[in-house]
Amino acid sequence: MDALDQLAAASAGLLDRVDGILTEAGAPADHRIWALLRRLGAMPADAVGTVVALRPAPLAAAGPPLRTLIQEYDEARAAIADGGSWEGAGAEVFAVHRSALSTHLGGLTARLAATQAYTEAVADWATQSRRSLARELAAVLGSTEAVTVTTEPVGPAAAVAAAEIGARLLGAVDAAYERVEALLSGWATELGELSYQAPDAGPTPFDLTTRIGH
């Protein structure tokens, strides 16, 4: 359990109160919270819960297995690239296919390396997002708006305080979404599907000699 988990538990009652006031009394018409509510499509408590649910550790743990798989693909590519001492028409056709498969395995290795880097980037994003939200929650819990929300009856003063709290928290969540959208856009081309394209080597002339060395 990190700081965000602890703060989320401590602020659960406050966030429920904020959501309740915003639902019942609304917020000032020109308050910045309205734009955030429209963009995220979630009330503050639900938006905070989405970030609280982020867990960087499983993503970070994917690194070692991916590195092992990358090594295995590299070893397979090296084995295929070694054509031995074949000679003749059959060897030439085999060499064409061997080269194509070796190139494909090289591409798969690059995709795996990109996947590893991507999981690390997403894990870093999740960690940063949790820390940013934790700072906002800590600030909100100690704010005068929190006192107003928890002590004042539902009305204009409570609505303004709830809107301020909601806007701060939704702003942190919105910033996290903007960062992950940029991350996804930047990695899109690196993570695309890589299909194997078999070479057109033509028919194998079996009437010619093929010699296999030892």
The DSSP secondary structure of 76-108, one letter per residue, reads HHHHHH--TT-EEHHHHHHHHHHHHHHHHHHHH
Indicate whether 211 belongs to any domain.
no
Instruction: Read off the pLDDT of residues 38-68 as tens digits, 9 standing for 90 and up.
Output: 999 999 999 999 999 999 888 888 778 878 8
User: According to the model, what pLDDT value does residue 62 have?
Assistant: 79
- Let me know if residue 204 belongs to a domain: no
Q: Half-sphere exposure of 48 toward its Cβ, with a 13 Å CA cutoff?
A: 30
Cα torsion angle, 175, 176, 179, 180, sign: negative
Q: Is residue 210 part of a domain?
A: no
Residue type, 146: A
Residues 6+ away with beta carbon under 8 Å from 26: 159
pTM across the whole model: 0.76
Give residue 49's pLDDT: 94
- Only one residue has tokens 């591409």, namely 107
Which of the 8 DSSP states describes residue 176? H
Comparing 5 with 110, the larger pLDDT belongs to 5
Express each pLDDT in 133-183 by its tens digit.
999 999 999 999 999 999 999 899 999 999 999 999 999 999 999 999 998
Residues 6 or more apart in contact with residue 105 via CB below 8 angstroms? 73, 76, 77, 80
- Tell me the Cα Rg of the chain: 29
Instruction: Indicate whether 7 belongs to any domain.
Output: yes
Lowest-pLDDT range of 24-33, 65-74, 75-84:
75-84
3-class secondary-structure state, position 211: strand
* CATH code of 103's domain: 1.20.1260
Q: Is residue 53 part of a domain?
A: yes
C-beta of residue 38 within 8 angstroms of C-beta of residue 101: no
- Domain membership of residue 209 (yes or no) is no
Neighbouring-strand partners of residue 210: 88
Highest mean pLDDT: which range of 163-167, 188-192, 203-207? 163-167
Per the structure, the count of domains in the chain is 1
Q: How far apart are CA 127 and CA 76, in angstroms?
A: 36
**Domain for residue 95, yes or no?**
yes
CB 22 within 8 A of CB 158: no
pLDDT, position 88: 58
Asked if residue 67 belongs to a domain, the reply is yes
Q: Which domain holds residue 110?
A: 3-191
